[in-house]
């Protein structure tokens, strides 16, 4: 199938398919006489794997490693688990940072009167006017 059909079948945009091919995440597609890319079942399966991994927040390099492990019938599941747990730890750090941001923004919004006056603790905080001078 052509790239548009592959994109529709996998939920991966044609632009991303070309990008994944350019960075070697997927092998270069076969070409028809008309020079159109031609994707087969294996390509679609690999694109589906990549899409699911991206949906779970894995980085391109992590996906590259997961693809190697997927293709290695001699792999140890401990390697896959270790990579995944490393990703979970990174996600937990991001969640904590986002929670801290949410709390700070909520406190700033609560402190703001939201009226016609120009005084605003949100702007003051962003400008570093609460004890910090740059």
pLDDT in tens, 14-33: 999 999 999 999 988 878 77
Looking at the chain, which runs of residues are DSSP E strands?
30-31, 37-38
pLDDT digits (tens, 9 = 90+) for 85-117: 999 999 999 999 999 999 999 999 999 999 999
In terms of DSSP bridges, do strands 37-38 and 30-31 run parallel, antiparallel, or are they unpaired?
antiparallel
- Grade residue 134 by pLDDT with cuts at 50, 70 and 90: very low
Predicted TM-score (pTM) of this structure: 0.79
Closest CA to 66 of 29, 12, 25: 25
The pLDDT, as a whole number, for residue 131 is 54
User: What is d(CA 72, CA 66) in angstroms, rounded to the nearest whole number?
Assistant: 10
Closest CA to 80 of 68, 90, 89: 68
């Amino acid at each position: 199938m052509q790239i548009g059909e592959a994109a529709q079948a996998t939920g991966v945009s044609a632009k991303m398919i070309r990008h994944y091919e350019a960075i070697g995440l997927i092998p270069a597609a076969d070409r028809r006489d008309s020079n159109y890319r031609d994707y087969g079942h294996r390509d679609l399966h690999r694109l589906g794997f990549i899409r699911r991994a991206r949906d779970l927040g894995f980085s391109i390099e992590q996906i590259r490693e997961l693809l190697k492990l997927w293709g290695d019938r001699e792999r140890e599941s401990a390697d896959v688990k270790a990579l995944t747990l490393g990703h979970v730890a990174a996600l937990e750090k991001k969640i904590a940072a986002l929670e801290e941001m949410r709390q700070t923004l909520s406190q700033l919004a609560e402190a703001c009167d939201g009226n016609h006056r120009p005084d605003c603790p949100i702007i003051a905080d962003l400008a570093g006017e609460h004890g910090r001078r740059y």
